[in-house]
Structure formats: structure tokens, C-alpha cells
């Protein structure tokens, strides 16, 4: 059972985490939700379309202008508090690697800390434990935050993913993070080239077999773009194909930009797998 905020999810439930970037330079939307009202409208739309989790980010993942911890707090804390006020039942996640930011957003009402940089700040897990928050434990291949991979190499990329994410997850639990609130993430594109990310997807079942809930962040990433030779705005089809494969292999949480489309893909996979009844079943019955 995955427990986040006020919600519990059975192992067969496929959960959407909607991305809301509080940055002026995000790679996908170029700052469309940097201001409060567009960002709050995005939250409302995402919830209406089937997102259970809102993932708030105050620093873009790639290289760019330096963002201090103080500025990251300024971009995220007030927004988290307002989302909590307007949407009391939604699960709020914050994408950060810094413990100072984690402390501030948890005090404002965040339920999950999404550590996309593989525990580079070990105190972040301590913050999650102190606040009873969930934690995403990600494989980033030892990369420093906001850097791109350069000639990344692994003897066995999935073996490395498992060693790192399971180690981070067990450490988090030992510190007091609720076991049922810890997720592991293979970290597509983080510290990896395109072939590594494809192999991580192909072997995702090995992560699922560990028993930890698996989160995948696939949405419009470079490995999709390079595989199909498509720019950022033309990666939705490839993303949804990868989402369907990941769902079939057992991933549970999906960090996405396109909520409505992802919900349809996940519902279709769930119905094929026998975990969900068709919304309508009239064919051949009249």
C-alpha cells in the first residue's frame, strides 16, 4: 500500500503526478506557470483531469541561471501553502534536492519531497522523516544537480539503479520516513544517455519486483526525443508509448505534463490488465 498525504493507493492503482513548474525557464513550458494565477489554474486543470499529486518545482533540472535556496523557497513555499488551502485533499510534492527548501515546504503543507538528484543532500531524507513526508529516491548516476551527463558508463545500468535507489530507500526508512511513503525512481536521463534510459525502461520490472512503489518521470524527455528524433514539443506520442510500457511492467506513479492523455493510457492499460472495468460496455449486448 502506497500512502501519501491523506490518500492510500493499492498496488494496482496507477497514479498521476502533474508537473507545475515555478520557474521562468523550464525546458517544456518556458515559464508558463511561473506566475501564481496560471500555476493555480494549472493545478485546477490537472486535478480535474485525474492527477492525484501535484509536483511543484522551483528550479529547472538543466543548466541555467543559478537559483539560491532562498530564491527556491520564495518560488515554492507560498504557492504550496495556497495549493493546500484551495485543494485540501490533493497530494503536494515538491521537486527539490535541498534540505532547507524541504523544511520550508513541509511546514507549508507539502506531503512528498521529490529528490531527483539521488540524495546529494543527505539531510533531505532527515527532513522528510521529521515531517512524516513521503520521499522519492532517484538514481542520478552520481551527477551533480543541474548538470548534463557526459560519457556516462555502467557495467550494468539496472544493477546500479537498484543498488542506489534501494540504498536510499532503506536509509530513509531507518531515519523514520514511513516505509509505505517511499518511492524509487530510475531517473530517466539523469546521469544516463539515451541507451541507458531505454534499458532502464525495458528492465523496469526488476525495480517493481523489489516491492517498492516505482515512480517514472518520462514526460517529453531527451531520451524520447533522441529515440524518435523529435524536438521537445513533438515528444508526446513517444512519451505515451513509454508510459504504456512502464505501466504494463508495473510502475505505479507517473510524473507528467499531459495529464488527460496519460490518464487515458493508464486507464487503458489497467483495463487490459484486468484491474479496471471498462467505463462503458455495451458492444454486443444490445
The residues carrying an active-site annotation are: 221, 255
| CA Rg value for the chain | 18
The 3-state secondary structure of the chain, one letter per residue: CEEECCEEECCCCCEEEEEEECCCCCCCCCCCCCCHHHHHHHHHHHHHCCCCEEEEECCCCCCCCCCCHHHHHHHHHHHHHHHHHHCCCCEEEEECCCHHHHHHHHHHCCCEEEECCCCCCCHHHHHHHHHCCEEEEECCCCCCCCCCCCCCCCCCHHHHHHHHHHHHHHHHHHHCCCHHHEEEECCCCCCCCHHHHHHHHHCHHHHHCCCCCEEEECCCCHHHHHHHCCCHHHCHHHHHHHHHHHHHHCCCEEEECCHHHHHHHHHHHHHHCCCCCCCCCCCCCC
Largest CA-CA distance found in the chain, in angstroms, rounded: 63
Amino acid at each position: 500500500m502506497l500512502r501519501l498525504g491523506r490518500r492510500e493507493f493499492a498496488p494496482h492503482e496507477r497514479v498521476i503526478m502533474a508537473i507545475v513548474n515555478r520557474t521562468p525557464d523550464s525546458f517544456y513550458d518556458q515559464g508558463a506557470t511561473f506566475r501564481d494565477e496560471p500555476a493555480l489554474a494549472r493545478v485546477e486543470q490537472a486535478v480535474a483531469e485525474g492527477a492525484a499529486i501535484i509536483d511543484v518545482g522551483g528550479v529547472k533540472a538543466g543548466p541555467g541561471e543559478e537559483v539560491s535556496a532562498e530564491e527556491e523557497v520564495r518560488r515554492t513555499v507560498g504557492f504550496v501553502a495556497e495549493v493546500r488551502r484551495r485543494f485540501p485533499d490533493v497530494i503536494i510534492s515538491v521537486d527539490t534536492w535541498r534540505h532547507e527548501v524541504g523544511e520550508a515546504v513541509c511546514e507549508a503543507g507539502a506531503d512528498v519531497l521529490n529528490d531527483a538528484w539521488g540524495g546529494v543532500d543527505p539531510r533531505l531524507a532527515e527532513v522528510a522523516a521529521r515531517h512524516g513526508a513521503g520521499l522519492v529516491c532517484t538514481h542520478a548516476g552520481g551527477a551533480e544537480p543541474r548538470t548534463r551527463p557526459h560519457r556516462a558508463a555502467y557495467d550494468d545500468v539496472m544493477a546500479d539503479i537498484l543498488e542506489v535507489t534501494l540504498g536510499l530507500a532503506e536509509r530513509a526508512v531507518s531515519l523514520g520516513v514511513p516505509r509505505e511513503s517511499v518511492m524509487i525512481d530510475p531517473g530517466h536521463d539523469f546521469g544516463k544517455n539515451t541507451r541507458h534510459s531505454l534499458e532502464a525502461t525495458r528492465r523496469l520490472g526488476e525495480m517493481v519486483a523489489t516491492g517498492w512503489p516505482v515512480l517514472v518521470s518520462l514526460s517529453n524527455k531527451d531520451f524520447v526525443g533522441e529515440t524518435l528524433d523529435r524536438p521537445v514539443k513533438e515528444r508526446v506520442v513517444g512519451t505515451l508509448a513509454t508510459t504504456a510500457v512502464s505501466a504494463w511492467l508495473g510502475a505505479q506513479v507517473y510524473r507528467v505534463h499531459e495529464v488527460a492523455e496519460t490518464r487515458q493510457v493508464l486507464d487503458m492499460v489497467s483495463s487490459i490488465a484486468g484491474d479496471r472495468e471498462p467505463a462503458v460496455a455495451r458492444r454486443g449486448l444490445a
